[in-house]
Structure 1
């Protein structure tokens, strides 16, 4: 009944609308009542599997008892911001990764510290570019690759700090381990040597071109981060994909341990897929207040058949993401938490994630990550300023050339605003 009530409540909030439409399209006689009944059956089956195999844990919300125990500890929250600048004749990239270090119970001015751990500014189309050795048609992929490795690199800098700067744990905003196959393309440019030294925080590193490719460099930073021994987790706020990766892996483990028959595992997976449910949407109605699933290793690199042939052996070396989903409160969606498999005191770190997710009413995500997100974000006014300055330089150089065709071209570029909906054809 708890599961059915949670489903009805979520439907009342507009959740599962897409799923209901998907099922209705496939089965025209499906009704709202049938949808709730069938979804309750799926959720009940998953709940029973978790309970019967001791795969559920619960954290009690007890802030008055919990927070005093953390006195003297320091926790770092990390997030990156990317400048959103679109220019017709350049591909500027601006990334900064900020940290928010907090010491619960410390009443001194050192209780909270903000810092920009890493900043990268470059023009991706420039011959003298610092970040990548050459350009690439898909600029968005270059920016994503630079952002992902930068955030992990910032976490590494914090984790290896000693003395007064030492932290007891690092919490990243987003996945700890990202899929890398999309960036292993044959013509994907390597990072510059100096950029690699910045990302590895190692002035003597001298890797060759292959070692400076994203797939290899990202793995190198992850390995160095893991070797620090400091507990590190990534908290993923939104699960937008439809593939239930975590639940599929859970069913695989239960089948491998002979708890679940192959037919039963396959039938349950097909039911989940037919209703368009991902991990977060199904676990939202399976888990109760403060509950989480016992962490399991999940390979995040996707099917091997889609890996670039040249990088298959390197991708096999990528660590699994030790993964769980935790639900902070009754009407808040669960979110994914990832760590390395050798993490120490993961339950203690989940308690920190849970209690920081309850600090703001109805927010339901570690508030330290919201704080650092606002700190690291590149403001729109700064992006507009960079774009404006670039336009001024472009026009000035065109005028200085004295060439009428160059001046006309610059004017057209600066005046271009795309298609205006007012001038679209009426038929």
Structure 2
């Protein structure tokens, strides 16, 4: 949208007024003068759409701006800030704004990971922008870093801890040796985990963010359905102990990388070497390691959630959107020129740590080694610990091979007579 003269003010419509929305309002009102100077235009909060007017709210919220007419807020705004949970009605409201040429700022990873391509197309067709720093890793400026700072470089890999809840749980399990269920209950009591924690602990939250980052980093369209996902609910204290003994820590990782056949994106728990930067990310923090051809390895780290950190990212996007509105410049558009295909997960190269319970007798290791050799998989490390009478626990770490080959190894091991149980399988990343 071009302007012959800069507007005197920019009407900002807010969709949603929960924890993050309240902090956005607080920052907008508290730092009004500074934000005006930075944006080059006064940012006027023009309406706040909520589901109910009867909810008790923070006194900072101007009650006269509250309304249940979300479409009206969209239609009466120059920039729409969308902070709703879930896909509907956020998707329809974002589409409505963009169709009218209204730039949006969104923290909604679910919508962007599923319907991003359609929204970006509408934005480009109507001269609007889509800003979404807050949708990935809260206050951590990884979206801007990849989209702008690394625009002249070639990214080869993105490896990240993108969910604070799971990082807190795994960190506490490692520190205390506790089981998953006990630490999850504590995370819920502390407010780190929801009453229904499945979106976090089953990896869906991180997968949505992985899709967004992969699209940005590799200039290709990646949606949530392209991201194979596994969570942390099956991680045991024994897994943690085995990882520690082998010099690793377990993290839920979002991974996106290029290979000869295309782009591989996935989310799963994995072992990270203790000397890797992500191994030192504790508590509910987020971190993303980006490898680029010219820049080398970069790490983005900080608070990945919470009202104030996320509001900081929203306000940063709002100021950027306002500057473009004032200058009449076109907002950034979707970069999809590379159009890399997303490869079959079975072709992805990784390493496995496999824990087995086996018969404690001569010849067992030779039988296991033959299975690995038959699938062209070599062993890097093997440790054996005697358990009950007549049984032993084996911990094996493979060298790199495809998921298909490693899965075949595990399946065949499970059929061997001396193998009592396959206790767990964990991937090894960050090498």
Q: TM-score range by the shorter chain?
A: under 0.3
Structure 2-normalised TM-score?
0.24
In terms of fraction of residues, the more helix-rich structure is 1
In terms of fraction of residues, the more strand-rich structure is 2
